[in-house]
Amino acid sequence: MFEDIFMEVVDPAIVVDTGKGKIETANVPFLEMIAEPGGVVKGKGIGNFRFTRAFGNLPVTLEDLSENSYYEDVIFEHGKDIRLQIDLKVRIITAGDKGKRYSVLMLRDISERKKLESDLITKHKALVEAHAGLQKAHAEAESFREQLVQSGKLAALGVLAAGIAHELNQPLTGIRGFSQEMLFDIKRGMLEEKSISSYATEIVKNVDRMKAIIQHLREFVRKSTEPFVPTDVVEVINGAFILLREQFRAHGIAIEEEFDKNLPKILSNPNELEQAFLNFLTNARDAVDARGNEVTDKKVKISIKNPDREIVQVVFEDNGIGMSVDTKNRMFEPFFTTKEVGKGMGLGMSITHSILERLGATIVVESEPLKGTVIKINLPVAR
C-alpha cells in the first residue's frame, strides 16, 4: 500500500510502524544509501539506525518520529561504515480500517553540501587571514614609504643648507643695517617720526620675510600624513623656490617661468609635491653646473600649463649635460645615481617617482647628452 507513495519519493525513505517501532518497508534509494541494495529491512527495529542532531548531539527518538516534523543537520549512522549528514522529514499517515499510524521518514543526504560549505568556510577564513596579511603588509609599506620620503626631505635640506642660510642672512643684514642707521640718527639727534616709521617698516618687512622662510621650513620637514587636498601647483613651485632661488642665483643660473593664468587645482599632498619639484629643480641645477663654462646662458625654465580639462602639465627644462639613453631609462630606479660617491644615494628620483605615482601623474623624459633635459609631468585635475 506504500508503493504509490514511494513512486513519488526520489530521496531515500522508509516507513515505520509507530506502534511497534519496526520498519514496514524501504525504497531502493534508502537501501543503496545503507549499502544494501538488495537487502531486506522489513521487520527490523528503527533502533538499528541512529539519528542524532548535529547541534547539541541529541538523539531523534521514536517519539520524535511519531509526529509530523522536520529536522535539519541530522547525523544518520548505520553499522560501522555508514555515517551521513542528512535533513530528515517525518510525515504521519494512517492506513487500514483501524487507522493504524505509520511514520514516513524521508532522508536527504546533505553530506556533500556540508563538505562544500565547510571547505568554503575554511577558504573564506584563509582569504580573511590573507587579506589581513595584505593590509598589514600595505600598512608597513606605507610606513616605510613615509619614512623614506621624510629621509629624502632631510637629505634635501642638508643639500640646501647653504642656500637657506643665505636666504636668512639677507633679511638679517637688512635689519642690522636699518637698526644701525636708526642708532646713528639718535646719536646725531636727527631721529624724526617719519624716519622711525620708515626704519620700522623695513625692519618688520625683513622680519616677516625671515618668518615666512622659517615657517616654510617647518612645514616642509613635517611628516606628510595629511590627506590629498585641492592644490595650487604654482604655490607649490613658489614654495620650492623659497628654498632654492638664492642657490640658483649664486650658481649663475637664470630661472624662467611661464605659467598659464587661472590654472585648475589638482589633488595632492602639497608638502610631498614640493619635495618632488625640489628634486627635479636640484637635478636641473646640477646638470647645468656640470656643463661648466661650455654654456654662457645657464638657465632652467619652468612651465605650468593646462593643455586640456583633464591635466595640469608641469615642465622642467634645462640646458645642462643631458642624459644617455641608459641613464634616462634608469633614472627612477632606487639607488641609481650618476653622482660621485658621497654626493647622493640615488633615492631622490625614486622617492619623486613614488610621490607622483600616488597622484596618478605621468612623467615623460626627453634628454640627450649635451642637449639638456625636458621633464613633463601630467597631473590629473581635481574633480
The answer to whether residues 317 and 340 belong to one domain is yes
Question: Residues 165-180: what's their mean pLDDT?
Answer: 75
The answer to whether residues 232 and 369 belong to one domain is yes
Q: Which domain holds residue 105?
A: 3-109
pLDDT (0 to 100) of residue 107? 94
As for how many domains the chain has, the answer is 3
Residue 222: pLDDT band with limits 50, 70, 90: low
Strand positions, DSSP E, 32-134: 50-53, 69-78, 82-95, 100-109
Mean pLDDT of the residues in the chain: 84
Q: Which distant-in-sequence residues (6+ apart) come within 8 Å of 243 by Cβ? A: 160, 163, 164, 167, 216, 217, 220, 278
Q: Distance between alpha carbon 233 and the CA centroid of its chain, in Å?
A: 24
The answer to whether residues 339 and 262 belong to one domain is yes
Which residue intervals of the chain are DSSP H helices? 3-8, 28-33, 111-187, 193-221, 233-250, 270-289, 325-330, 348-358
In whole angstroms, give the CA distance from residue 253 to residue 324: 23
pLDDT tens digit sequence for 317-367: 999 999 999 999 988 887 777 776 555 555 678 888 888 998 999 999 999
The answer to whether residues 39 and 117 belong to one domain is no
Chosen domain end from 222, 256, 289? 222
In whole angstroms, give the CA distance from residue 110 to residue 113: 5
Provide the CATH number for the domain around residue 236: 3.30.565.10
Q: Quick check: pTM over 0.85?
A: no
pLDDT (0 to 100) of residue 214? 76
The answer to whether residues 126 and 24 belong to one domain is no
Residue 81: pLDDT band with limits 50, 70, 90: confident
Provide the CATH number for the domain around residue 176: 1.10.287
Q: Is the pLDDT of residue 225 over 70?
A: no
pLDDT (0 to 100) of residue 155? 62
Instruction: Pick the most confident of 101-115, 210-224, 239-253, 333-347.
Output: 101-115
pLDDT tens digit sequence for 300-317: 999 999 998 899 999 999
Chosen domain end from 205, 222, 239? 222
Residue 246: pLDDT band with limits 50, 70, 90: confident
The answer to whether residues 333 and 187 belong to one domain is no
Provide the CATH number for the domain around residue 56: 3.30.450.20
pLDDT (0 to 100) of residue 191? 74
**DSSP H or E run through 363:** strand 362-367
Chosen domain end from 197, 222, 247? 222
The answer to whether residues 287 and 145 belong to one domain is no
β-sheet with 254-259: strand ranges across: 254-259, 299-305, 311-318, 373-380, 362-367
Q: What is the residue whose three cell numbers read 625640489? A: 278
The answer to whether residues 80 and 117 belong to one domain is no
